[in-house]
């Protein structure tokens, strides 16, 4: 029984905070095996003695601060999920450590909320380490690496002087990328009425994270642009991804999600089918997997042939690239949100699942029932089926826009 517990390390230099954690954890002793450290150095010493699933740390500590600690954890124990407790997500130190932090937990938070967030991440990591998935991934051969431009953007985001101007300047160095982003931004797709003539202005209007996700998606999909033996055109997958991205953002706004989740909805939509670029390379995939009229692979057919789907493969790829856990989770479960076992209300995953299902349903001329496109029990549980007609109208509006 003990082996099924998540092994967690709390690190905080305030003894009162640690005492509070310890008292709160009494209610979760059957699920968590917890240790406590009063400094970064003590935390690293404890990490060297046993394996942990997750580290939860304060950022501002004397001696070794949170950034130094997380750098060491990522180097010495890369499989450990890294969380930061913070009451200020705009904290300059937090912004500088975004490449090291898997997720920021608001401070203060009830222990039930902390447990929910951490368990969700641990379960996701466990699923993405499934031997059958790894076997399929390994059969693909060389996984695509994170594009150079995306790495440059991440590096700039860690800078204290990050701005829309500096992000736009990096994109402007790549003529092809600039042309594609400006083409998208000036299309009817984003609904921007004023002409946009520079990547700097595009970043200002759409936000850094949206532009970053577009840059990542454009570069990755461009790598496969000239593949002649794919069952469907890469351009078709890319167009579908942009449509889902726009609709996911709209539905996330309708669900009153937080601003950060609205941006993550755009990002998740752009990247949600990135796993198809891997699955297309698996021997026998075209012959064994059935495709719908709109070019999308049939999920049940994928499961029968592979034991997994392009969604899980995409989640795995984004996970090893270090994208935020909520985005990895949404991509991984976007076809089967009910498989995500954490008991949460409507969120990013909901918006992506609904958006993907609606776009597929409206483009598939075979007129399948909603159950063929949505996890109906999941949507019923959340009380969202009453909005379906309204969302269908939003979908039709988005699909009429040029991409």
CATH number of the domain that 30 lies in? 3.40.50.2300
> Which strand ranges, in their side-by-side order, compose the sheet holding 6-11?
32-37, 6-11, 54-58, 81-86, 103-106
| CATH number of the domain enclosing 367 | 1.10.3210.10
| Of 104-113, 125-134, 254-263, 394-403, the least confident | 125-134
How much is the pTM?
A: 0.69
Q: Are residues 123 and 140 in the same domain?
A: no
**End-of-domain residue from the set 127, 148, 164:** 127
Q: Are residues 273 and 293 in the same domain?
A: yes
**End-of-domain residue from the set 127, 154, 169:** 127
> What residues contact 250, with CB distance under 8 A and at least 6 apart?
355, 394, 398
Q: Are residues 108 and 152 in the same domain?
A: no
**pLDDT average, residue stretch 231-246:** 86
**End-of-domain residue from the set 83, 108, 127:** 127
Tokens of 219: 């570069």
Q: Are residues 264 and 313 in the same domain?
A: yes
pLDDT-derived band at 124 (thresholds 50, 70, 90) equals low
395 or 226, higher pLDDT? 395
> Would you state the pLDDT for residue 399?
87
Q: Are residues 111 and 172 in the same domain?
A: no
In whole angstroms, give the CA distance from residue 69 to residue 155: 19
Q: Are residues 120 and 245 in the same domain?
A: no
**pLDDT average, residue stretch 382-400:** 92
Tokens of 371: 């159950």
- Token pair 């759409």 is at which residue? 206
Residue 1 has pLDDT above 60, yes or no: no
Q: Are residues 79 and 224 in the same domain?
A: no
Q: Are residues 169 and 273 in the same domain?
A: yes
**pLDDT average, residue stretch 87-114:** 69
Query: Domain of 78?
Result: 2-127
CA nearest to 314, candidates 364, 244, 375, 251: 244
Q: How far is CA 89 from the centre of its chain?
A: 18
**pLDDT average, residue stretch 317-334:** 83
Q: Are residues 230 and 331 in the same domain?
A: yes
- Convert the pLDDT of each residue in 185-224 to its tens digit: 887 777 778 889 998 998 888 887 778 778 888 888 887 7
Q: Are residues 89 and 176 in the same domain?
A: no
In whole angstroms, give the CA distance from residue 189 to residue 187: 5
Q: Are residues 110 and 142 in the same domain?
A: no
Total domains in the fold of the chain: 2
Q: Are residues 195 and 115 in the same domain?
A: no
- Convert the pLDDT of each residue in 252-291 to its tens digit: 999 999 988 888 898 899 899 988 888 877 878 878 888 8
């Amino acid at each position: 029984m003990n082996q099924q517990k998540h092994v967690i390390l709390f690190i905080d230099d305030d003894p009162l905070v640690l005492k509070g954690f310890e008292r709160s954890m009494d209610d979760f002793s059957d699920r968590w095996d917890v240790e406590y450290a009063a400094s970064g150095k003590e935390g690293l010493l404890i990490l060297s003695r046993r394996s942990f699933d997750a580290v939860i740390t304060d950022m501002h500590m004397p001696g070794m601060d949170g950034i130094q600690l997380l750098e060491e954890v990522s180097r010495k124990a890369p499989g450990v999920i890294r969380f930061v407790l913070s009451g200020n997500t705009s904290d300059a130190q937090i912004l500088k450590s975004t490449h090291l932090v898997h997720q920021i937990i608001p401070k203060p938070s009830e222990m039930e909320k902390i447990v929910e967030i951490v368990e969700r991440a641990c379960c996701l990591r466990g699923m993405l380490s499934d031997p059958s998935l790894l076997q399929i991934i390994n059969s693909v051969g060389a996984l695509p690496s994170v594009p150079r431009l995306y790495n440059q953007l991440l590096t700039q985001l860690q800078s204290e002087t990050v701005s829309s101007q500096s992000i736009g300047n990096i994109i402007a160095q790549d003529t092809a990328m600039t042309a594609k982003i400006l083409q998208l931004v000036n299309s009817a797709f984003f609904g921007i009425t004023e002409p946009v003539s520079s990547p700097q202005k595009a970043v200002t209007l759409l936000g850094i994270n949206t532009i970053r996700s577009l840059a990542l998606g454009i570069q990755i999909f461009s790598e496969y642009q000239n593949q002649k033996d794919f069952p469907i055109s890469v351009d078709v997958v890319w167009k579908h991804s942009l449509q889902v991205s726009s609709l996911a953002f709209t539905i996330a706004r309708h669900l009153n999600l937080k601003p950060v989740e609205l941006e993550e909805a755009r990002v998740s939509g752009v990247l949600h089918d990135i796993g198809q670029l891997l699955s297309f390379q698996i021997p026998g995939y075209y012959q064994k997997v059935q495709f719908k009229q709109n070019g999308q692979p049939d999920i049940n057919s994928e499961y029968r042939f592979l034991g997994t789907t392009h969604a899980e493969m995409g989640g795995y790829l984004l996970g090893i690239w270090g994208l935020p856990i909520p985005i990895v989770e949404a991509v991984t479960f976007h076809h089967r949100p009910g498989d995500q076992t954490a008991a949460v209300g409507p969120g990013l995953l909901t918006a992506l699942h609904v958006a993907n299902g609606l776009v597929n349903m409206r483009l598939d001329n075979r007129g399948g029932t909603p159950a063929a496109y949505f996890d109906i029990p999941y949507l019923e549980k959340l009380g969202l089926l009453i909005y379906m007609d309204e969302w269908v109208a939003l979908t039709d509006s988005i699909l009429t826009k040029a991409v």
